Amino acid sequence: MEMDLTQAVQQNLLNTDRCLVCVQVAELSTWAKTSRILALVHHQGEYGLFIFAIDKSPVATASDLSLKAVVGIDAAVVCDVSSPLGIVEADLEFKIVKHDCTYTFEMSIGQECNTFVAEFYRVLQSCHEQYGDGTLDFSWVKPYGGEEIRGSSQAQGNQPHSHVSLSKATGNSASTFYTFEDNFQTSVPDASLKKSSALPAMASGGNLRQKLEREVTPLLRHSSLDMMGSRDGIIKRVMETREDEYTDIQTFRVFTGTWNVNGQPASVALQAWLAGDDEPPDMYAVGFQELDLSKEAFLFNDSPREDEWLQAVTNALHRGATYTLVRTIRLVGMMLVTYVAEPLRERVIEVAAETVGTGIMGKMGNKGGVAVRFLLHNTSLCVVNAHLAAHTDDCERRNQDHADICERLRFARFDPPLPIWQHDVVLWIGDLNYRLDQLAYDQVMLLMEKGAFAKLLEYDQLYTQKKKGRAFKTYEEGPITFRPTYKFDPGSDTYDTSEKCRVPAWCDRVLWKGQHVKQLTYRSHPTLMISDHKPVSALFDVGVKVVDVVKFKRVYEELMKQLDKLENEYLPQVTLDTMEIDFDRVAFVEPAAQYLIVANTGQVPVEFEFIRKPNDAGYCKPWLSISPYKDYIMPGEKRDVKLEVYVKAAMAARLNAGDDRIDDILVLHLHGGKDIFVTVGGRYVPSCFGASLQALCSMPTPLREVPVAQLVDLGSPETPAAAAAADAPYDIPKEIWSMLNHLYEFGVQEGSLFQQPGLPSEILQIRDVLDTGIADSLPGSVHSVAEALLMFLEALPDPVVPYSHYQQCIDRSRDVTACEQLVAAFPPCHSNVFRYLMAFLRTVLYFVDRNKSDVMESLALMFGSILLRAPPGVEPTLPPRMLDNCKATFVTNFITE
């Protein structure tokens, strides 16, 4: 009778040691494969990898195993997990390197393999966090046969690595990127369901997870991510171009759903929404908006509603199948939950999730998007759940939110970070908030009664914006045959009867792009009535590329022969359309982009990469971004490389002061070839954004009229000009006065001031007016002026609370008297600005009719984070949330009546 392997291993261990997990593998040597058992063993906080030989198969007793080697797990251990054929269906190679010894094993993909790899990396991370780069003596293994047993090397020509990696460093292989995000939960529905366990993000610079994310470069389909070696990456890219020769299309059913729940608890059954079809789907992607409207969710991203809605969804999944939770991701009130049917769990890899806030300052997460992506067989899928800007008149803001999500949401675990568009299939769901234009409430109700949805949709903002190419240009949407899903009286099926009487609209939508996607249904679910929105669902048949291993091997071997011949005869060669990029005029928060065309004029595929110069921190300066900064180009093809300049708040002061300039030299490296140098230049236009308070207080004229040399002198505390600032004509900068005066006059009674973002185009106009003084009043909405004020304060080279006083203000934030004394000790211009800002915030709070305490806390946190900034290079002494509370408390002392 066959014995359980874990039990057999445990009986070979001492009582002080415990087998955590084990798996049967094949050890690879030069000429043969030998059956082995790998066991992960725990001993009083230390771990070892025990390698057993199988003396008799099947294993019937503990004596059928014999210990061959022990590898003590510490910082010296390096592990690679890879698929030799570069496909998901192939067996895995599991390689362990320690010092001068290498063991290579072959594992069959399955639950045991996944569990072992996941547990091994959990232990490896734990060892790095606990022991850092130190090594252990592993004296506890002596009873098993002496010192730590390393056994004979199976190096096979591979050199030990210098860092922990999840991907194979050499050889013709494709990496399988294993983290806990790739290991799903137990089957659901299950009342004991827990969240997907992902490796936690740590703050420590020596954390293993950060090393993995920083140093590992996983091989990913349709992306330029493999930098393990030029040959491997080129093979991967060419194989992708011939994908049709070795893949077959298999159809899977995908359910997508979206619901703005208006902060309501999960008090209703969801089967009518999630499980109303006869056939169970193969995959679920369920998105929520306004999951939690509390101040804790908005300010700290904490919410108990996440668990209750997750459980509600789990309980409502189709009973015709068993599902596995892939990933949950939440940002404030936006949450996305993804599941796959149990048979697919081992075909889903490379799971990643990201969030982007598009609220004020591009940071607040009350609006924005959350996304999950993964590889199913050989097709990459990305699901985005978005909540865009509200209000009928803010269509342009919605378009901007969509553009920001597309531009800024990148899956950072890949190198370079992977954008949304670089997936085979994208499903975009959410409360997109597009409304009906030019129609009154009564007109909409009349057309709805007639069932004239096609006529109504002529006035739908999303339809018109798509048609004009301003948003979702490349996405498709199925025919809408259901009534508008917003706005209802909560608890009813009646459209808004409140005083505002909002015009009904199709706010809640599902769109998609990609090949082999067929929408089967698109509907709303009006029986769910706890919110002012109705949930929406769409069912798809998605064609997924499944690898035929036999065909893959044939194409792969053919390619290898061709590449061997080409590499022996040709060197990589490219031609650039220019060697100099001139951005001309560059201004604060005004993006400027140019393209560099890189053409492969040689006979072999080329891998290029922009690399950093010696003593430089990165491959380009912080104000410049390059996309893609590394990629592959096939012979006869070209790549348009986007170079974009964008000066943020943190960069403005150095450019204003002349400590930095818009110039750089880029090094474009061809793997296996030469380096090419590209120069980047431009002229930065000084701005009051990034100028010091003392300089601005001493300028009687707009900044653009001040010579640059004088501006630099005024910004330096060591110059005579700065000393003369004590006699400055202004107590506070005229620019701050202009913005606050405008908000006093037009914005203090606006309920969402400092909560709703402004428009970038209006912020640029406000900047120009402040810099030139060409207009007597500020352009744009009060929200744009409010965001411009925050950006102005964030760009100050020395914050309103001076660096010299920062720590004292944090330490004594709860002592009101001490805080008053500290502000009195600020330099005059800093003290004046602080008091003026606090007086303004008191006025804002005076006009708040309800939830005044929540608004006060929100304003205190926002202004606290901007006014009190730690000096550069100073590490925080408090946890982030406690530090934020100290900053908010300091501000609250001055805005409480």
Q: Is residue 235 part of a domain?
A: no
Q: List all residues 6 or more positions away from 817 whose beta carbon is below 8 Å from its beta carbon.
A: none
Strands of 92-98's sheet, edge to edge?
Answer: 65-72, 46-54, 33-43, 18-28, 101-107, 92-98, 77-83, 174-175
Q: Which of 364, 363, 374 is nearest to 411 (CA)?
A: 374
Which of 748, 776, 797 finishes a domain? 797
Q: Which of 103, 217, 219, 77 is nearest to 158 (CA)?
A: 103
* CATH number, domain containing residue 101: 2.30.29.110
Number of independent structural domains in the chain = 5
Assess whether the previous peptide bond of 674 is cis (omega < 30° from 0): no
Give pLDDT, residue 851.
64
Q: What is the pLDDT, as a whole number, of residue 725?
A: 47
Out of 548, 566, 584, a domain closes at 548
Q: How many CB atoms lie within 10 A of CB 765?
A: 17
On whether both 541 and 638 belong to a single domain, the answer is no
Q: Is 301 exposed, middle or buried (0-12, 13-18, 19+ CB in 10 A)?
A: middle
- As given in the structure block, the two tokens for residue 226 are 């493999």
567 domain residue, yes or no? no
Q: Taking a C-beta distance cutoff of 8 angstroms, is the pair 133, 75 a contact?
A: yes
Asked if residue 610 lies in contact with residue 630, where contact means CB atoms within 8 angstroms, the answer is yes
Nearest to 717 by CA among 833, 803, 622: 803
Instruction: For residue 604, give the CATH number of its domain.
Output: 2.60.40.10
Kindly list the distances between the CA atom of residue 573 and the CA atoms of 608, 610, 641, 670, 675, in Å, as whole numbers in the listed order. 10, 15, 17, 8, 11
Q: Which residue has the tokens 């190419």?
A: 469
Same domain, 494 and 354: yes
- Residues 751, 677: one domain? no
Angle between helices 782-795 and 852-867 in degrees, nearest 10: 40
Domain region containing 783: 687-797
Question: If DSSP codes are grouped into helix, strand and coil, which group holds residue 237?
Answer: helix
Which residue ranges of the chain lie beneath pLDDT 50? Answer: 85-88, 146-147, 150-229, 720-722, 724-725
Q: Which helix (H) or strand (E) holds 889?
A: helix 880-895
d(CA 95, CA 49): 12
Q: Which amino acid is at 205?
A: G
In contact, 442 and 411? CB cutoff 8 Å: no
What is the rounded distance in angstroms from the CA atom of residue 85 to the CA atom of residue 606?
22
Same domain, 706 and 660: no
CA–CA separation, 413 vs 9, rounded Å? 36
In-domain check, residue 646 = yes
pLDDT at 274: 98
- Could you say which DSSP state residue 516 is in? S
Q: In whole angstroms, give the CA distance from residue 866 to residue 357.
A: 17
Go through 510-530 and write b for each residue having 16 or more CB atoms within 10 A of its CB, e for each that does not. bbbbbebbebeebbbbeebbe
The closest of 336, 230, 352 to 288, measured between CA atoms, is 336
Distance CA 891, CA 669 (A): 50
Q: Return left, alpha or beta for 506; rule: phi > 0 is left, psi -120 to 50 is alpha, else beta.
A: beta
Question: Vertex 123, ends 119 and 128: CA angle to 5°?
Answer: 150
Cis amide bond preceding 526, omega within 30: no
Q: Are residues 408 and 383 in the same domain?
A: yes
Phi–psi pair at 119, nearest 5 degrees: -65, -35
Cα torsion at 202, 204, 205, 207 (round to 10°)? -60
Instruction: For the chain, give the number of residues.
Output: 897
Same domain, 129 and 78: yes
Q: What is the distance between the alpha carbons of residues 118 and 94, in angstroms, rounded to a whole number?
A: 12
Residue of 567, 639, 627 lying closest to 598 (CA atoms): 639
Q: Give the containing element (helix H, strand E) for 445.
A: helix 441-449
pLDDT at 533: 98
**CA pair distance 389, 787, nearest whole angstrom:** 15
Residues 617 and 697 in one domain: no
| Per-residue CA distances from 743 to 16, 167, 784, 833, 840 (Å) | 70, 55, 10, 16, 9
Token look-up 């390619």 returns 559
Helix locations, 760-871, DSSP H = 760-772, 782-795, 806-811, 816-824, 828-846, 852-867
Q: What is the edge-to-edge ordering of all strands in the sheet holding 323-331? A: 323-331, 334-341, 283-289, 247-260, 536-547, 517-524
Residue 878 near residue 868, CB atoms below 8 Å: no
- Say what the pLDDT of residue 897 is: 65
For residue 328, the cross-strand partners are: 337
Query: Which CATH number goes with the domain that contains 893?
Result: 1.10.555.10
Same-domain check for residues 261 and 320: yes
Residue 201 counted as domain residue: no
Phi, psi torsion values for 430, nearest 5 degrees: 145, 180
Please indicate, yes or no, whether residues 32 and 86 belong to a single structural domain of this protein: yes
- 271, part of any domain: yes
Q: Judge if 586 and 640 occupy the same domain.
A: yes
Q: What is the DSSP letter of 242?
A: T
Could you tell me if 637 and 764 lie in one domain? no
On whether residue 187 sits in a domain, the answer given is no
Report the 3 state secondary structure along 31-42: CCEEEEEEEEEE
Q: Is 369 in contact with 405 (CB distance < 8 Å)?
A: yes
Decide which of 154, 175, 196 is a domain's last residue. Answer: 175
Q: Are 276 and 370 found together in one domain? A: yes
Does 112 map to a domain?
yes
Q: How far is CA 13 from CA 65, 137, 140, 773, in A?
A: 11, 19, 11, 81
- 565 in a domain, yes or no? no
CA atoms within 13 A on the CB side of 756: 17
Question: CB–CB of 341/282 below 8 Å?
Answer: yes
Peptide bond into 417 cis (omega under 30): no
